[in-house]
């Protein structure tokens, strides 16, 4: 049941394509395809081949189109790739468009009744009687629908030569402990596999072969990594309001906390997670907790960030530690809630009215989501201020391959907190005095048993003793000290990752999840004889490394996923004398940026 | 030589519970409430450093600066004190929290947070200093102003009021009282009882604004409140550390025992009012509105409801004080999680 695409014969003759292609699975959301897609991805991963998975889904629970892409790449590139080599077109609603989007010679696996061969004759079609096979897999109509997804796993496994043992492993992992589900799903895979063996003649060049590039690696999504980082940072109060794409940070954190932070003897929790009534309350609770001495966090996305503006300014002005995770999605307004973006950079950095500047951490991998969550808590308490961690939907909700995370090496530090004994030793306590010249004052916690320990926290003007003041000199002292504190932070935030190519005249600057595409693009550019150096910003404020990097290149390209070139503008403000050297590559259609896009954009400007 | 001032059971004088001088208008009802807050904590013998005072924005919200100088204070943003209080309570449940808000801060901008605080039963004393107007912005009506109440400019209020006590009961509040800034005896008893309560204790105190809402035609003026106040009972409070037994005529006093062993004594007036009867409390409030009555006293109490700390199942030691050995799981935990992800 297959029709041969024009040109595919030649492709076959050119030889096989091993461990280097993308599979796109088009389904309807709510159809249960997620487990099948995970099984497929994990099976390839367990064969030692680098993979990455991306879920492109609608802001909807059931009935709308969804696409899952698995990129298989022997070189370890895990960014999105624009082209699809193998399409599994299971969704009748989008099948025609999906097939039209393929390049010539691509493979399309589809239900036979969709008759997709008529639409594209230059594509290699494998047509499968899914309904018939599903009937064999189960008598239950409802189950048949779910098992259809496992049928395509079997068919792809046969076509690509995925080891059956790995599929068995993955299914076991996916349906842990549920023997009945494991048996049903394994059986469906077998039915698919056997049907393909008997009925499909392999005519495409794609296949997998075992490698040893994933041994010891983990697969995890960025939100789970953020949750783990917070868990091991010793977070005690977590407040949140559900919002895509950040909900799974707190949902996964709740699971981890329940598993690891409940005292076995007393059954009591060493944490509190509060699902707030809205983001206004979520940040208010986190600030209250931070003020009273808890390690407090909240996590949200764009609209939540907007709602948190007033309290974030309060936290900055009154100097209260709190960590705010922003898993960015496409704005403005409701925007595209299930698509990815890096467009909250400036708004988070300067959130709230008046002169405000916040420390922002920018993880560029799941491992950094984990590490920077920990760093964010340390910085928030060291600097007594809200600290943002900006990830995005691509990093947060998609599955990524990574080295296992390292256990924290440094003990938890709570910053400049004075106890009653400290006050006795110092002889005095003034909440907002710059005792050490670094802009960071000392604080006390409520409950400190000392007649001088108490102070009054207020969002209105205040003097060194936390007394109400509208005096110009008090306001200037406070604002200039806050600025000094921010400047101090330059020496403590994570330094950028820099990779210098000594032949390079041009530099590339990126941050966050753009890293995957930029790394791959640099290799593509190198092939085109354009050598590049690379600096990946990991935090605001910038460190001194940025100036050095820009100075040592003819010009630099700032690659980012927003319309307004927000990072470029921040860099121009930081380095006004070199503003003209700073160019821009922007990707902002809601899909994760891909390497080819970056390469083309740079080559275009280099011409 | 002057005699040493009297002290309470922990050896502190009334002065030790005072704050900075008030900057509110002379005669403001809020200052009268502040004086009773100072008195209540002094008489309870609460350790000032174990109190956290919180507020939102407005004239009322300035007042935590005027009492308990030895307590940490948090003057938050407009209408958002409840969320801050919830966070503080989670971080350190050993603190006694007192929140002061106003009718604008609670019934308008902060209504949502007020509702959810009450719904969660976060343990704190929540005082609404209710004058029916926005004082700090010069006299606009608030959402608690009575229908037909007259503004200083002569404008009549055309919208019905939100009754915060009725709303609190509807939301499951476990302690609801209403009082008047001009009735210090009742107010101080209510405040002390609220301090013994484990859960959210809402006290709505009519607190006249002498500058913008104390004229003829206002239903929140001193004159109106004095004339109209009808106490539901004579309210007494006996703290756990005092053993006073007074003989009452049988059946004339209802006693409510609190968690800490303190007792509220309600001496009956001509009304026979049982504040543990939720339905009757709701009906009484509704009827009072219809009859234009100003009822004060303990409207509702339920000492059996679980507070938020209990629901959240945190241990005895406050979360804020937990050491790293408790808050950071061991390396073996991470190794185990990593192995599962391979």
A289 reaches B (C-beta below 8 A): yes
3-state DSSP of A467-511:
CECCCHHHHHHHHHHHHHHHHHHCCCCCCCEEECCCCCCEEEEEE
CB atoms within 10 A of CB A226: 33
Is B332 inside any structural domain?
no
CA distance B175 to B203: 8
A554 reaches B (C-beta below 8 A): no
* Structural domain count of chain B: 1
CA distance B44 to B64: 18
Structural domain boundaries, residue B171: 14-320
pLDDT of residue A107: 97
Q: How confident is the model at residue A31 (pLDDT cuts 50, 70, 90)?
A: confident
Instruction: For residue B327, give the nearest of A256, A270, A283 by CB distance.
Output: A270
pLDDT of residue A1: 54
Strand order in the sheet with B253-257: B233-238, B263-268, B253-257
Partner-chain contact A228 B312, CB within 8 Å: no
pLDDT of residue A330: 98
A295 reaches B (C-beta below 8 A): yes
| A60 has a pLDDT exceeding 60 | yes
In chain A, what residues touch B76 (CB-CB under 8 Å)? Answer: 284, 314, 459
**Region A55-84 average pLDDT:** 91
pLDDT of residue A270: 98
Residue B71's alpha-carbon distances to A289, A293, A400, B53, in angstroms, are: 16, 15, 49, 7
The predicted-structure confidence for A318-354, as pLDDT tens digits, reads as follows 999 999 999 999 999 999 999 999 999 999 999 999 9
Instruction: For residue B80, give the nearest of A268, A280, A445 by CB distance.
Output: A280
- Mean residue pLDDT of chain A comes to 95
Partner-chain contact A404 B71, CB within 8 Å: no
CB atoms within 10 A of CB A141: 9
Is B215 inside any structural domain?
yes
Contact criterion met (CB below 8 Å) for B44 and B238: no
pLDDT of residue B249: 76
Is B230 inside any structural domain?
yes
Domains in chain A (CATH in brackets) are 2-207 (3.40.920.10), 220-402 (3.40.50.970), 420-489 (no CATH), 497-606 (3.40.50.920)
Residues linked to residue A323 through DSSP beta bridges, in sequence order: A297, A387
Q: Tell me the nearest-neighbour CA distance from B202 into chain A, angstroms.
A: 19
CA distance A229 to A216: 20
A206 burial type by CB count under 10 A (0-12 exposed, 13-18 middle, 19+ buried): buried
CA distance B90 to A274: 9
Q: How confident is the model at residue A12 (pLDDT cuts 50, 70, 90)?
A: low
Q: Tell me the nearest-neighbour CA distance from B75 into chain A, angstroms.
A: 5
Of the given ranges (A113-122, A304-313, A474-483), which has the lowest mean pLDDT?
A: A113-122
CA distance A361 to B53: 33
CA distance A523 to A120: 33
A245 reaches B (C-beta below 8 A): no
Backbone angles phi, psi at B37, to 5 degrees: -65, -45
The residue to which tokens 């990072």 are assigned: A567
Question: CATH number for the domain including B163?
Answer: 3.40.50.970
**Region A417-427 average pLDDT:** 98
Q: How confident is the model at residue A11 (pLDDT cuts 50, 70, 90)?
A: low
The predicted-structure confidence for A513-536, as pLDDT tens digits, reads as follows 999 999 999 999 999 999 999 999
Is B74 inside any structural domain?
yes
Partner-chain contact B329 A232, CB within 8 Å: yes
In chain B the first and final C-alpha atoms are separated, in Å, by: 80
Partner-chain contact A236 B338, CB within 8 Å: no
B116 reaches A (C-beta below 8 A): yes
Q: How confident is the model at residue A457 (pLDDT cuts 50, 70, 90)?
A: very high
The residue to which tokens 């912005």 are assigned: B137
| A8 has a pLDDT exceeding 70 | no
| A6 has a pLDDT exceeding 70 | no
Q: Is A554 helix (H, G, I), strand (E, B) or coil?
A: coil
Half-sphere exposure of A108 (CA within 13 A, CB side): 34
Task: Annotate A143-154 with b (16+ C-beta within 10 A) or e (fewer).
Answer: bbebbbbbbbbb
Q: Which of A 73-102 lie inside 8 A of B, CB atoms? A: none
CA distance A245 to A590: 13
pLDDT of residue B279: 97
| A79 has a pLDDT exceeding 70 | yes
Q: How confident is the model at residue A50 (pLDDT cuts 50, 70, 90)?
A: very high
In chain B, what residues touch A169 (CB-CB under 8 Å)? Answer: none
CA distance A274 to A280: 13
Is B151 inside any structural domain?
yes
The residue among B39, B47, B52 whose CA lies nearest residue B10 is B47
pLDDT of residue A59: 81
B315 reaches A (C-beta below 8 A): yes
CB atoms within 10 A of CB A321: 31
CA distance B13 to A447: 20
Cα angle B217, B220, B226 (rounded to 5 degrees) comes to: 95
Of the given ranges (A61-65, A115-119, A257-261, B172-176), which has the lowest mean pLDDT?
A: A61-65
Region label for B68, one of left (φ > 0), alpha (ψ between -120 and 50) or beta (otherwise): left
pLDDT of residue B242: 87
B63 reaches A (C-beta below 8 A): no
Instruction: For residue A457, give the nearest of B69, B74, B91 by CB distance.
Output: B74
Is B174 inside any structural domain?
yes
The residue to which tokens 């109509």 are assigned: A141
Question: Which one of A288, A310, A322, A400 would you mutate to disrupt binding with B, by most B Cβ within 10 Å of its Cβ?
Answer: A288
Is B270 inside any structural domain?
yes
pLDDT of residue A63: 82
Half-sphere exposure of B133 (CA within 13 A, CB side): 29
Is B205 inside any structural domain?
yes
B301 burial type by CB count under 10 A (0-12 exposed, 13-18 middle, 19+ buried): buried
Q: Which residue of chain A has the CA closest to B49?
A: A447
Backbone angles phi, psi at B219, to 5 degrees: -100, 10
Task: Annotate A229-255 with b (16+ C-beta within 10 A) or e (fewer).
Answer: bbbbbbbbbbbbbebbbbbbbbbbbbe
pLDDT of residue A5: 52
> Which stretches of chain B score pLDDT less than 70?
1, 244-247
């Amino acid at each position: 049941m297959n029709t041969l695409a024009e040109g595919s014969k030649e492709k076959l003759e050119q030889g096989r394509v091993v461990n280097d292609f993308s599979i796109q699975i088009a389904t309807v959301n709510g159809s249960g395809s997620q487990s099948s897609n995970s099984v497929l991805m994990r099976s390839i991963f367990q064969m030692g081949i680098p993979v990455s998975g991306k879920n492109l889904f609608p802001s909807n629970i059931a009935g709308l189109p969804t696409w899952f892409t698995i990129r298989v790449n022997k070189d370890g590139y895990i960014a999105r790739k624009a082209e699809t080599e193998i399409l599994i077109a299971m969704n009748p609603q989008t099948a025609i468009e999906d097939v039209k989007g393929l390049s010539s010679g691509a493979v399309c696996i589809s239900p036979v009744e969709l008759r997709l061969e008529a639409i594209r004759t230059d594509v290699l079609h494998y047509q499968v009687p899914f309904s018939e096979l599903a009937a064999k897999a189960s008598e239950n109509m409802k189950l048949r629908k779910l098992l259809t997804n496992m049928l395509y796993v079997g068919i792809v496994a046969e076509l690509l030569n995925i080891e059956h043992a790995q599929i068995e492993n993955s299914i076991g992992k996916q349906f842990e402990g549920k023997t009945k589900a494991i048996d049903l799903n394994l059986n469906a895979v077998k039915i698919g596999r056997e049907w393909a063996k008997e009925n499909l003649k392999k005519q495409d060049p794609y296949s997998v072969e075992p490698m040893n590039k994933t041994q010891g690696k983990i697969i995890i999504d960025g939100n789970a990594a953020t949750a783990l980082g917070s868990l091991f940072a010793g977070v005690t109060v977590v407040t949140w309001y559900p919002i895509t794409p950040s909900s799974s940070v707190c949902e996964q954190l709740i699971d981890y906390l329940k598993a690891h932070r409940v005292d076995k003897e007393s059954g009591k929790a060493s944490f509190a997670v509060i699902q707030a009534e809205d983001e206004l309350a979520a940040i208010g609770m986190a600030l209250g907790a931070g003020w009273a001495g808890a390690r407090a966090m909240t996590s949200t996305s764009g609209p939540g960030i907007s709602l948190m503006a007033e309290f974030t300014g309060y936290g900055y002005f009154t100097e209260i530690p709190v960590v705010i995770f922003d898993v960015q999605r496409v704005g403005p307004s409701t925007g595209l809630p299930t698509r990815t973006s890096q467009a909250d950079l400036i708004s988070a950095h300067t959130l709230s009215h008046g002169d405000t500047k916040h420390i922002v951490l920018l993880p560029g991998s799941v491992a950094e989501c984990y590490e920077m969550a920990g760093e964010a808590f340390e910085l928030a308490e060291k600097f007594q201020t809200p600290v943002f961690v900006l990830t995005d939907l691509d990093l947060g909700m998609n599955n990524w391959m990574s080295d296992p995370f390292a256990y924290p090496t440094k003990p938890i530090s709570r910053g400049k907190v004075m106890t009653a004994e400290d006050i006795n030793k110092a002889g005095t306590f003034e909440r907002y005095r710059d005792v050490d010249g670094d802009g960071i004052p000392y604080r006390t916690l409520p409950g400190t048993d000392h007649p001088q320990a108490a102070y009054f926290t207020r969002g209105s003007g205040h003097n060194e003793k936390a007394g109400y003041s509208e005096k110009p000199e008090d306001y200037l002292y406070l604002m200039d000290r806050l600025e000094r504190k921010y400047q101090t932070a330059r020496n403590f935030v994570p330094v950028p990752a820099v990779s210098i190519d000594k032949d390079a005249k041009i530099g590339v600057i990126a941050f966050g999840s753009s890293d995957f595409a930029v790394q791959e693009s640099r290799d593509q550019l190198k092939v085109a004889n354009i050598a590049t150096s690379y600096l990946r910003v990991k935090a605001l404020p910038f460190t001194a490394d940025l100036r050095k990097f820009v100075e040592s290149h003819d010009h630099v390209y700032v690659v980012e996923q927003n319309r307004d070139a927000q990072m470029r503008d921040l860099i121009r403000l930081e380095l006004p004398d070199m503003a003209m050297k700073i160019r821009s590559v922007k990707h902002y259609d809601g899909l994760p940026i891909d390497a080819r896009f970056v390469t083309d954009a740079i080559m275009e400007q280099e011409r | 030589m002057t005699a040493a001032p009297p002290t309470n059971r922990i050896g502190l004088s009334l002065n030790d519970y005072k704050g900075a001088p008030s900057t509110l208008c002379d005669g403001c009802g809020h200052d009268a409430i502040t004086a009773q807050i100072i008195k209540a904590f002094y008489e309870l013998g609460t350790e000032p450093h174990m109190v956290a005072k919180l507020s939102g924005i407005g004239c009322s919200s300035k007042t935590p600066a005027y009492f308990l100088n030895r307590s940490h204070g948090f003057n938050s943003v407009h209408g958002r004190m409840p969320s801050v209080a919830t966070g503080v309570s989670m971080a350190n449940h050993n603190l006694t929290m007192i929140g002061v808000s106003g009718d604008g801060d609670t019934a308008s901008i902060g209504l949502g947070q007020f509702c959810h605080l009450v719904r969660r039963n976060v343990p704190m004393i929540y005082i609404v200093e209710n004058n029916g107007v926005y004082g700090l912005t010069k006299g606009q009506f608030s959402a608690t102003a009575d229908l037909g109440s007259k503004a200083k400019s002569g404008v009549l209020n055309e919208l019905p009021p939100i009754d915060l006590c009725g709303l609190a009961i509807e939301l499951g509040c476990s302690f609801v009282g209403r009082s008047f800034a001009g009735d210090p005896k009742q107010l101080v008893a209510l405040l002390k009882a609220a301090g013994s309560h484990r859960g959210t204790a809402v006290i709505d105190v009519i607190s006249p604004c002498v500058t913008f809402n104390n004229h003829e035609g206002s239903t929140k003026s001193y004159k109106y409140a004095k004339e109209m106040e009808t106490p539901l009972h004579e309210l007494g409070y006996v703290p756990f550390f005092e053993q006073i037994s007074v003989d009452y005529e049988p059946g004339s006093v209802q006693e409510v025992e609190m968690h800490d062993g303190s007792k509220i004594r309600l001496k009956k007036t001509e009304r026979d009012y049982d504040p543990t009867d939720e339905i009757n409390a709701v009906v009484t409030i509704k009827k009072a509105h219809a009859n234009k009555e100003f009822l004060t006293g303990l409207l509702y109490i339920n000492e059996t409801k679980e507070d938020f700390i209990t629901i959240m199942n945190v241990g005895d030691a406050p979360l804020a004080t937990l050491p790293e050995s408790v808050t950071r799981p061991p390396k073996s935990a991470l190794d185990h999680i990593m192995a599962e992800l391979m």
